[in-house]
Amino acid sequence: MKTIKVNSLIFLFTMLVLACNNKENKTDTPENNTTEKSTTPKKISSINSPCDLISMEEVKSMFAVELPIENKDVVYTYPTCIYRWEEGKFTKSVTFGGQEIKSTRPSEVLIVMVKNANEAMFKQSTTVYKQPQQISNLGSLAVWDSRISQLTILSNNYMFHVHVKVSNNDTENKEKAVEVSKLIIGKL
């Protein structure tokens, strides 16, 4: 009796394994073919990072920085290029226990690049903007949000989020983000 139960369990698990393997083999083939066709880009690009489009020298020149600049070329969800330096121009105030506490923050330029982007993706990513400002004559579409100090642009099937926080002055941050974006678009 005990042997029959053990053999039955072995048979049951074997059938489940075989059924799962057969199901995976049948469903993977059509899905893979469909995915390969839809994700194959029309034009293969050698741009793999926003750091390929804007150099350390260009950042130093554009922001008139004489200090050492930290540069990170990373991939979080999308390829991201970060330039950060301690300049003391950007401060942040927080009220804690009835007292205002001010601290200096590093200045930063953060650029996120999305390949094969379209207008629908652009609109979806900018729906979180609470204070959107349309920017004309910059790529296909461009929107600035003062709250997060970020400009999102769509150009040549690329979308870039250009976050610039180098001053407490929103207008200055916006102008610099536009300048960085024009440099990027010029290299696409």
Write the pLDDT tens digit of every residue in 44-85: 458 899 999 999 999 999 999 989 999 999 999 999 999 999
d(CA 174, CA 10): 67
Report the CATH number of the 50-187 domain: 3.40.1000
> How many Å apart are CA 160 and CA 142, to the nearest integer?
9
Residue 17's pLDDT is what?
A: 39
State percent of the chain over pLDDT 70: 76
Global pTM value: 0.72
Domain segments of the chain as ranges: 1-40, 50-187
pLDDT at residue 18, as a whole number:
42
CA–CA separation, 69 and 82 (whole Å): 10
Q: Where does residue 51 fall: left (phi above 0), alpha (psi -120 to 50 degrees), or beta otherwise?
A: alpha
